[in-house]
Amino acid sequence: MLILLRPDVTAPQQAAIEALVKSHGLVPHVIPGAARTAIGITGNRGALEPGRYQSLPGVADVIAVSQPYKLVSREWKPDDTVVTVRGVPIGGQRITVMAGPCSVESTEQIHEAGRGVLRAGAHMLRGGAFKPRTSPYEFQGLKEEGLRLLAEVRAETGLPIVTEVKDTETLALVAEYADLLQIGARNMQNFSLLEAVGDLRTPVLLKRGMSATLKELLMAAEYIVSRGNPNVILCERGIRTFETMTRNTFDINAIPMLKERSHLPVIADPSHGVGVRSAVGPVALAAIAAGADGVIIEVHPRPSEALSDGQQSLDVAQFGLVMGRLARVAEAVGRSV
Amino acid sequence: MLILLRPDVTAPQQAAIEALVKSHGLVPHVIPGAARTAIGITGNRGALEPGRYQSLPGVADVIAVSQPYKLVSREWKPDDTVVTVRGVPIGGQRITVMAGPCSVESTEQIHEAGRGVLRAGAHMLRGGAFKPRTSPYEFQGLKEEGLRLLAEVRAETGLPIVTEVKDTETLALVAEYADLLQIGARNMQNFSLLEAVGDLRTPVLLKRGMSATLKELLMAAEYIVSRGNPNVILCERGIRTFETMTRNTFDINAIPMLKERSHLPVIADPSHGVGVRSAVGPVALAAIAAGADGVIIEVHPRPSEALSDGQQSLDVAQFGLVMGRLARVAEAVGRSV
Amino acid sequence: MLILLRPDVTAPQQAAIEALVKSHGLVPHVIPGAARTAIGITGNRGALEPGRYQSLPGVADVIAVSQPYKLVSREWKPDDTVVTVRGVPIGGQRITVMAGPCSVESTEQIHEAGRGVLRAGAHMLRGGAFKPRTSPYEFQGLKEEGLRLLAEVRAETGLPIVTEVKDTETLALVAEYADLLQIGARNMQNFSLLEAVGDLRTPVLLKRGMSATLKELLMAAEYIVSRGNPNVILCERGIRTFETMTRNTFDINAIPMLKERSHLPVIADPSHGVGVRSAVGPVALAAIAAGADGVIIEVHPRPSEALSDGQQSLDVAQFGLVMGRLARVAEAVGRSV
Amino acid sequence: MLILLRPDVTAPQQAAIEALVKSHGLVPHVIPGAARTAIGITGNRGALEPGRYQSLPGVADVIAVSQPYKLVSREWKPDDTVVTVRGVPIGGQRITVMAGPCSVESTEQIHEAGRGVLRAGAHMLRGGAFKPRTSPYEFQGLKEEGLRLLAEVRAETGLPIVTEVKDTETLALVAEYADLLQIGARNMQNFSLLEAVGDLRTPVLLKRGMSATLKELLMAAEYIVSRGNPNVILCERGIRTFETMTRNTFDINAIPMLKERSHLPVIADPSHGVGVRSAVGPVALAAIAAGADGVIIEVHPRPSEALSDGQQSLDVAQFGLVMGRLARVAEAVGRSV
């Protein structure tokens, strides 16, 4: 439930409202907004009686929040959330571009990638150090060595780092290096990991599970936010369907639907979303046209030598071309890169 | 199989090649191109022996066409096909916008819709007269009366008409009125209907079945083209997935994949693709950004009174806003509306 | 809406009720049942007012039918429907087994198949004469010649014939030969074809579309029954999912769900449902255990030479083994083969 | 790669073969079989050269294992694996039935459930203590208290316990109580958890992810087995599709496909597979008819009061009826309960 306060509410009125909520065994969350302040209520197991709060001094309105998610909803917080990652704002007027290889593979590879994507105009560097792989016999990443290499490139280029955390055991280590913690698709409903990153304040890039509904994605974000970490960025990365010509089916509908239902920033991952190099650029443009707040793109200095995801990685020159087109489409929808 | 001719091939050389193909019981199709002429071969049940033709005078190369579709493939015809519908070219530099109500419901409704979409800048009028409906108890369309009303609005506005043909029985009637015959998603593999429209020369808008793979869509187009009607336009309209927040999942990946694999024009139907009014505009922009040659959008003078698909129909003012944004995105990708 | 009559209703009372329904512009359908008679009402576009009929003499109860399908629902007709196909009852205590090749290919092949499946205990012969194929370049069936061959084998073996009708153009021809008309998965929502078979009284085997919901399957059956043909048999044949190890995903849940919601017989097609020869038998047994009224199985004298579906066809000996197991599982669930 | 030894191989010959494998930097796994012994080789990143081992004394044959999974494949180990859980063999001639509530809710509830399922003939007791829930606001289980209650009921009834472990943090605790550790669908690709249970020897019930392919399920099992824990039981529990009348689509095809490809036991979860109480029994029977080695069924003393999954739970009397039918179907396929 959400209590909307009047613009002229006084501090004592607001304090009294919060106290009443607590006296009912519930938790009040103050949500300041541009135009008005609201108080969200959590902790109830069923529906609440709005009449309890409707007529209190300072209350403009009380609205039920019908969705099973609350803190991440637009009803709860009408204004867009902007998450700042080491100085880079995500979710505002400007489109954010994250780029880099699927996996950190070597000193040379990641430095080359970092310099390349910086030169092409990227705002952040991506790269996996701990890789969840379908087979136990595949390359599992350089682990801590990979994180150190990412930090080296950050020191050189100034690009903030986004990298995946795959379990709670390595979370503390990854969080030492990462500016933005990526939760992968397979972990979207790893609730223990969601709670653990919810206890931090490091921003989180939460990827949609490969067969998760949008409602489930929002619920997963709710796990993180309800633990106290408001810095969540949603990521559409394609869902699993019957189509086999592409690796996944990028759900373009998810972009406007998530933006409408939630105040959180939404990023698109066209690389996994289509999984075919020649189509990555077009899908990236589509996501921006549909209202995404940014893209995350796999770029490798030499895709044909990549240890993972080579078939969907752009080389630096191809990425540069996509950047140019992204800038034009961003401008067409009133934004910039 | 495809025989690529040399730029300097002579007419007698080409005639000799065609004669040899026929002598093998096969059918040669001459495909003129901007840079070179090719001869496609059909009629074979298995693989052909390229050696038969490789060394003939005038032959540059012989290439196997590995996909199960041939005539609709890029290998077969590298240049984009432009289908002209009553003077409106589809598949060229300019984006085509088709708009109008799901169903023709009354004289007033369709005239109002036609004037509205013309004023907003649409190039064609859509409207269903024969409606395939999931339930036998739902509104099935005005039938011939609906076709007559569409023709009236065409006479008034000059807008060519696209309308659905749902069976072979009514094909002759619908073809009398329609400038572009729409084959609906449920009929994408109604092979008898595909063959029947293949025997005409009226352009065909072929919608992807709700669980059809892209390969199956191309095979369905091949049915039409192989009967002699080259005027086929492919239409992505969303596929069926587990997601329930939207009516379908618009497969944005389909746009670049179809453009890469086929020379046929590709149109997007964001109205059915997402099925939620507020998201129709964003998905339309996305499709153009990804390379679609046009969009088909449901517009109703008063969506709340629509007999079908009201929840996904724009009103004329909303459509006007989308048109403005479409023009900007089209320009960003080097095209115009 | 459904009017349940009292056990002691008199003929004049019933006639008066029917007359009143008609006077409201609606259509009454008398549905005799083992325990009670009911009158179903169709022809209404929206909800009906039960109060109109509730207090009439002879009326026990009036119930709204909430689903979008009516005539095929259990609420409408609580007792199982038994459809009789040339003397073979389908939907009763006994399990029905239909078997034979995907396509009729030659005199020898279909005679051999017919004799083989008869010897193994099948009750009906299946075989396609008009084949809908994904590619225009594939074998499309022997057409009328195939029907004639099926009739020959019926004359020899006494087995009734089930064969597919793929369009309205060939319906009259196919109906001359077929004892049970099969509507294929791709035609489940070919409403013109549904209406055309609804105008006959020949029994119809209606296959579920490859991405049709169970509700849509029931609505498709409603199309046929509402035109006057009550002899509809539902067929689960697998749906399209992301799984690629099997051709389709046989939806075993469909068996109990359809039996619960509808009074129509339900047949399983394990051959298309799994598409892998070694798994056809296990899936057939599963369907019977779950409550199916029968199975339709592809059997070919020499599967490796089949022109279509060889990979999922059993040979006669394999089919004989499956028949033995089917008999044991049928008995375990209180039925017989 | 797999080295098949001759029946008359001597111990020194076998030792020499193993030593050679190790000298190549690879790991030999001795797999004793009823008829012959085999040595599996892992540790290679690419294909191996069979010629290296083909002609050694004692070697009958060397076969490449083409699938990406090895240790769990039938090629690797042709004989069925029987996993013994506190004296209950799973995967042999006898069908295993696990039953109990979704969640342990109270002392009374779990004792009542335990006594009820024992009386009805179940072999194991299921019950969740740590519950992964889609929403952070839903009941998350009684945690350690729930485990203690399960142990109490085990002490009273003698039924071994199967309960879910949801993360590595609580694994040691759960493993103290559980006889069979359940990995839930959402954790099927939680590779850190898979590795952690792979380091134990406690048997593991590995549930298929809701959109995992069968190949991915086998790869997940490979993670566990390759760490040294051979006691893995696969569990089909339904996949996510477009169908909404049921909670999931139980993939009956998975039963014969998994049994064919793998030597591991396969258990069916009809409760989650269909999610509708009235259909749980029919789907359970179907799974046994298709070759499953057992079923796991949700049973609650009073389903209408259940804190989770009430709509798909049987009460004790309903479960008793299903047990009777299961016994008859098991017998029909040559097994017993």
Positive or negative, the CA dihedral A130, A136, A139, A143 is positive
Structure confidence at residue A33 (pLDDT): 64
Q: B36 pLDDT band (50/70/90 cuts)?
A: confident
A68 close to B (CB below 8 A):
no
D241, C239: Cβ pair inside 8 Å? yes
Backbone φ, ψ for residue B219 (5° rounding) = -65, -40
D245 close to B (CB below 8 A):
no
A95 close to B (CB below 8 A):
no
A68, D137: Cβ pair inside 8 Å? yes
Among the listed ranges B246-250, C28-32, C270-274, which one has the minimum average pLDDT value? C28-32
The secondary structure of D14-31 as a DSSP string is HHHHHHHHHHTT-EEEEE
Residue range B264-279, pLDDT digits in tens:
999 999 999 999 999 9
Using a CB-CB cut-off of 8 Å, the residues of chain C touching A240 are 242
Residue range D244-288, pLDDT digits in tens:
999 999 999 999 999 999 999 999 999 999 999 999 999 999 999
Nearest to D253 among C253, C255, C283 (CB): C283
Residues 6+ apart with CB under 8 A from D252: C250, C252, C283, C286, D286, D287, D290
C291 close to D (CB below 8 A):
yes
Tell me how many helices (H) and strands (E) chain D has: 11, 14
Structure confidence at residue A48 (pLDDT): 63
> Is residue C47 over pLDDT 60?
no
| Mean predicted lDDT score pLDDT of chain D | 92
Rounded-to-integer distance, Cα D25 and Cα D144, Å: 44
Rounded-to-integer distance, Cα C61 and Cα A146, Å: 74
Rounded-to-integer distance, Cα B280 and Cα B286, Å: 10
Q: What are the beta bridge partners of residue D181?
A: D163, D204
C240, A240: Cβ pair inside 8 Å? no
Backbone φ, ψ for residue D28 (5° rounding) = -90, 140
Q: Using alpha carbons only, give the angle A211, B241, C255 rounded to the nearest 5 degrees.
A: 100
Nearest to D241 among C215, C241, C329 (CB): C241
Chain B: residue whose CA lies nearest to C42: B137
Please state the separation of Cα D257 from the chain's center in Å. Answer: 15
C202 close to B (CB below 8 A):
no
Positions in chain A short of pLDDT 70: 32-35, 44-50, 64-67
A211 close to D (CB below 8 A):
yes
B244, D244: Cβ pair inside 8 Å? yes
Hey, how many other C-beta atoms are within 10 angstroms of the C-beta on A286? 35
How far is it between the farthest Cα atoms of chain D?
67
Structure confidence at residue D47 (pLDDT): 55
Rounded-to-integer distance, Cα C236 and Cα C214, Å: 9
A246 close to B (CB below 8 A):
yes
Structure confidence at residue C46 (pLDDT): 56
Using a CB-CB cut-off of 8 Å, the residues of chain A touching B260 are 278-279
HSE, CB side, 13 Å, CA atoms: give it for residue C174: 30
The answer to whether A30 touches A41, Cβ cutoff 8 Å, is: no
All partners of chain D with 3 or more CB pairs under 8 angstroms? A, B, C
Using a CB-CB cut-off of 8 Å, the residues of chain C touching D328 are 332-333
> Is residue C60 over pLDDT 90?
no
Distances (CA, A) of D324 to B223, C283, D327: 54, 22, 5
Rounded-to-integer distance, Cα D27 and Cα D39, Å: 10
D241 close to B (CB below 8 A):
yes
Alpha helices in D11-143 (DSSP H): 11-23, 51-54, 107-120
B66 close to A (CB below 8 A):
no
> Is residue D35 over pLDDT 80?
no
Rounded-to-integer distance, Cα D203 and Cα D267, Å: 13
HSE, CB side, 13 Å, CA atoms: give it for residue C197: 39
Question: C332 to chain D, minimum CA–CA distance in Å?
Answer: 5
Residues B268-302: b if buried by 16+ CB within 10 A, e if exposed: bbbbbbbbbbebbbbbbbbbbbbbbbbbbbbbbbe
Structure confidence at residue D290 (pLDDT): 98
Rounded-to-integer distance, Cα C185 and Cα C259, Å: 19
Residue range D186-230, pLDDT digits in tens:
999 999 999 999 999 999 999 999 999 999 999 999 999 999 999
The answer to whether D234 touches D267, Cβ cutoff 8 Å, is: yes
Structure confidence at residue C139 (pLDDT): 79
What is residue B151's DSSP assignment? H
Using a CB-CB cut-off of 8 Å, the residues of chain C touching D329 are 289, 329, 332-333
Structure token digits, residue D312: 């798909």
A283, B250: Cβ pair inside 8 Å? no
Structure confidence at residue D244 (pLDDT): 93
Single-letter code of the amino acid located at B118: L
Structure confidence at residue B35 (pLDDT): 64
What is residue B209's DSSP assignment? P
Q: Using alpha carbons only, give the angle C200, C217, D278 rounded to the nearest 5 degrees.
A: 125
The answer to whether A296 touches A334, Cβ cutoff 8 Å, is: no
The secondary structure of B312-333 as a DSSP string is G-B-HHHHHHHHHHHHHHHHHT
Question: C254 to chain A, minimum CA–CA distance in Å?
Answer: 20
The answer to whether C106 touches C293, Cβ cutoff 8 Å, is: no
Question: D217 to chain C, minimum CA–CA distance in Å?
Answer: 12
Nearest to D252 among C241, C244, C283 (CB): C283
Single-letter code of the amino acid located at A103: S
> Is residue D66 over pLDDT 60?
no
> Is residue C146 over pLDDT 90?
yes
Q: Strands of B78-147 (E only): list them.
A: 83-85, 88-90, 96-100, 124-126
Structure confidence at residue C30 (pLDDT): 80
All partners of chain B with 3 or more CB pairs under 8 angstroms? A, C, D
Q: C34 pLDDT band (50/70/90 cuts)?
A: low
Quick one: average pLDDT of B295-311?
90
Higher pLDDT, C62 or B291: B291
Using a CB-CB cut-off of 8 Å, the residues of chain A touching D244 are none
D241 close to C (CB below 8 A):
yes
Question: A69 to chain D, minimum CA–CA distance in Å?
Answer: 8
Nearest to A210 among D68, D187, D211 (CB): D211
D216 close to A (CB below 8 A):
yes
B192, C133: Cβ pair inside 8 Å? no
Contacts of B58-61 with C-beta under 8 Å, sequence gap 24+, read: B58/B5, B58/B6, B58/B8, B58/B9, B58/B10, B58/B13, B58/B14, B58/B16, B58/B17, B59/B3, B59/B4, B59/B5, B59/B6, B59/B9, B59/B17, B60/B4, B60/B5, B60/B6, B60/B7, B60/B36, B61/B3, B61/B4
Size of interface C-D (CB pairs under 8 A): 131
> Is residue B260 over pLDDT 90?
yes
Quick one: average pLDDT of B135-164?
94
Which helix (H) or strand (E) segment holds residue B194: the answer is helix B191-198
Rounded-to-integer distance, Cα A278 and Cα C113, Å: 49
The answer to whether A260 touches A218, Cβ cutoff 8 Å, is: no
Hey, how many other C-beta atoms are within 10 angstroms of the C-beta on A329? 26
Structure token digits, residue A291: 């209202």
Structure confidence at residue D33 (pLDDT): 65
Single-letter code of the amino acid located at C98: M
Size of interface A-B (CB pairs under 8 A): 131
B287 close to A (CB below 8 A):
yes
What is residue C103's DSSP assignment? B
Residue range B89-128, pLDDT digits in tens:
999 999 999 999 999 999 999 999 999 999 999 999 999 9
All partners of chain A with 3 or more CB pairs under 8 angstroms? B, C, D
Size of interface B-C (CB pairs under 8 A): 71
Rounded-to-integer distance, Cα C242 and Cα A247, Å: 11
B169 close to C (CB below 8 A):
yes
Rounded-to-integer distance, Cα A21 and Cα D186, Å: 35
Higher pLDDT, B59 or B257: B257
Using a CB-CB cut-off of 8 Å, the residues of chain C touching B134 are 68, 189, 216, 219
Rounded-to-integer distance, Cα D75 and Cα A236, Å: 39
Please give the torsion angle defined by the CA atoms of residues B146, B151, B152 and B156, in that order, rounded to the nearest 10 degrees.
Answer: 140
C12 close to D (CB below 8 A):
no
Question: D152 to chain A, minimum CA–CA distance in Å?
Answer: 27
A219, D134: Cβ pair inside 8 Å? yes
Is residue A84 helix, strand or coil? strand
C210 close to D (CB below 8 A):
no
Beta strand pairing status for B294-298 and B124-126? Answer: unpaired
Structure confidence at residue C151 (pLDDT): 98
Backbone φ, ψ for residue A67 (5° rounding) = -70, 155
Structure confidence at residue A170 (pLDDT): 96
The answer to whether C309 touches C269, Cβ cutoff 8 Å, is: no
Using a CB-CB cut-off of 8 Å, the residues of chain A touching C247 are none
A290 close to B (CB below 8 A):
yes
D26 close to A (CB below 8 A):
no
Nearest to D134 among A211, A216, A227 (CB): A216
Q: How much of chain C, in percent, has pLDDT values that exceed 90?
A: 77
Backbone φ, ψ for residue B117 (5° rounding) = -75, -30
Among the listed ranges B220-234, C41-55, D107-121, which one has the minimum average pLDDT value? C41-55
Residue range B41-72, pLDDT digits in tens:
877 655 566 777 888 889 988 876 556 788 99
Hey, how many other C-beta atoms are within 10 angstroms of the C-beta on A22? 12
B249, A239: Cβ pair inside 8 Å? yes
Reduced DSSP (H G I as helix, E B as strand, rest coil) percent helix, strand, coil of chain B, to 5: 35, 20, 40
Single-letter code of the amino acid located at D90: I
Its ipTM equals 0.85
Distances (CA, A) of D171 to A170, C243, C252, D194: 16, 31, 35, 11
Using a CB-CB cut-off of 8 Å, the residues of chain A touching B287 are 286
Using a CB-CB cut-off of 8 Å, the residues of chain C touching A244 are 244
Positive or negative, the CA dihedral C270, C272, C273, C275 is positive
Backbone φ, ψ for residue D255 (5° rounding) = -60, -60
Higher pLDDT, D30 or B51: D30
Identify which of C142, C149, C163 has the alpha carbon closest to the alpha carbon of residue C114. Answer: C149
pTM, entire model: 0.86
The answer to whether C180 touches C89, Cβ cutoff 8 Å, is: no
C222 close to B (CB below 8 A):
yes
Residues 6+ apart with CB under 8 A from A96: A88, A89, A90, A123, A124, A267, A293, A294, A295
Rounded-to-integer distance, Cα D275 and Cα C257, Å: 11
| Mean predicted lDDT score pLDDT of chain C | 92
Quick one: average pLDDT of C236-257?
97
Structure confidence at residue A166 (pLDDT): 95
Token pair 């406007």 is found at A256
Rounded-to-integer distance, Cα D124 and Cα B337, Å: 67
Identify which of C177, C161, C180, C176 has the alpha carbon closest to the alpha carbon of residue C118. Answer: C161
